[in-house]
Amino acid sequence: MSAIIKDIEIIKSKTTKINEVDFNDLKFGNTFSDHMLVCDFKDGKWQAPKVVPYQPITLDPSAKIFHYGQSVFEGMKAYKDVDENVFLFRPLENFKRLNISSKRLAIPELPESYFMEGLKTLLEVDKDWIPKNEGSSLYIRPFIFASGNGFHASPADEYKFIICTAPSGAYFSGKVKVLIEQTYSRSANGGVGFAKAGGNYAGQFYPTQLAVAKGYQQVIWTDDNTHEYIEEAGAMNIFVRINDTLITGPTSDRILDGITRKSIIEIAKAEGIPVEVRKITVSEVVEAAKNGSLKEMFGAGTAAVISPISGFGYNDTDYDLPELEDTFASFLKKTITDIQTNKSEDPYGWRVKLD
């Protein structure tokens, strides 16, 4: 989209909460920065975005977000290095995916400059909120939802685009034990599984609660038709290491095109790690666990980067993964986070420095 935005209005908060925050003890996504970016779609076009104090949103009870679920979002992070430089990681990929998600839910697509310049302006205003502690970052949540009113089942005529930020510590700590799902499905062919739509995540909560009640932390989603193919790990893409080959499923209508996933594949190939992007069956994983060739499983996503899996349950049987000293998961996570935090060279051109 060709719309260009130059000067973004900034309305600064008269007070700050930053002195109340313990940056050495940050929970994930529980503390919010002083400002947010807001942009409205009305009269058939996106209006000028502006930065305003972080505040509640007032909506009419008939706002269509409440009734028909037109809502999409992204997850990103900003990082500071030791010299106070601020960096983003592949932000244009988040912008592109936000518009892909929007299009699928009949939400008007956003101009690139509104997203990128709006984000940079917001980060400049709240740059003191970006943590420097090891493992911490400023989590960024861009989202769009239907704000237009009416009970008629149709796309809204008004929308809000908002970016909020939250200084956060690590998303997960330690390894997780997962249950391979055999009843419920995350998504289906022709559906919205490839989009970061809010409803996708709402539909995951109940099956995950059932797994937690059985002693697992997460579920492994399988295909909706046969439940024979492994697809995602909770809200993350999934990787399986059999012997020394890294395997992940291909993206489709059902699987999110994860930015961390794409980065892992590219790094692994560059480092000489054999990578296969193909369908992987539950039976193949179970057999590999039985014969000892299953070395690792891990989830991959923005929030946790990489979340190692310690074992999985299937057909009332638990399978433990071996504890290895040097894992693909730890190597890949360190490689990505070192690029993100400017601790290493970036041969891929993924790191974006904010001027």
* pLDDT tens-place string over residues 155-168: 999 999 999 999 99
pLDDT tens per residue across span 249-294: 999 999 999 999 999 999 999 999 999 999 999 999 999 999 999 9
Place 355 in a pLDDT band, splitting at 50, 70 and 90. Answer: confident
Query: Can you give the pLDDT at residue 2?
Result: 43
Of 29-43, 76-90, 170-184, 195-209, least confident by mean pLDDT is 170-184
**Mean pLDDT, residues 212-238 taken together:** 96
Is the per-residue pLDDT at 151 higher than 70?
yes
- Which domains are present in the chain? 9-168 (3.30.470.10), 176-340 (3.20.10.10)
Query: Can you give the pLDDT at residue 168?
Result: 94
pLDDT tens per residue across span 122-136: 999 999 999 998 889
Query: Can you give the pLDDT at residue 3?
Result: 61
Place 174 in a pLDDT band, splitting at 50, 70 and 90. Answer: confident
pTM of the model: 0.95
pLDDT tens per residue across span 187-202: 999 999 999 999 999 9
For residues 324 and 295, is the Cβ–Cβ distance under 8 A? yes
Residue 54 forms beta bridges with which residues? none
For residues 102 and 144, is the Cβ–Cβ distance under 8 A? yes
Query: Can you give the pLDDT at residue 173?
Result: 67
Cα 89 from chain centre: 12
For residues 160 and 46, is the Cβ–Cβ distance under 8 A? no
**Mean pLDDT, residues 195-218 taken together:** 96
pLDDT tens per residue across span 9-43: 999 999 999 999 999 999 999 999 999 999 999 99
Query: Can you give the pLDDT at residue 170?
Result: 81
Query: Can you give the pLDDT at residue 4?
Result: 58
What is the chain's mean pLDDT, rounded?
A: 96
Query: Can you give the pLDDT at residue 5?
Result: 62
**Mean pLDDT, residues 330-337 taken together:** 97
What phi-psi label fits residue 29: left (phi over 0), alpha (psi between -120 and 50 degrees) or beta?
left
- Can you list the positions of beta strands (E) in the chain? 9-10, 35-42, 45-46, 50-53, 71-73, 76-80, 86-89, 137-146, 159-168, 176-180, 218-222, 230-233, 236-242, 245-248, 275-277, 294-301, 305-314, 317-320, 351-354
**Mean pLDDT, residues 197-226 taken together:** 96
Is the per-residue pLDDT at 1 higher than 60?
no
pLDDT tens per residue across span 232-242: 999 999 999 99
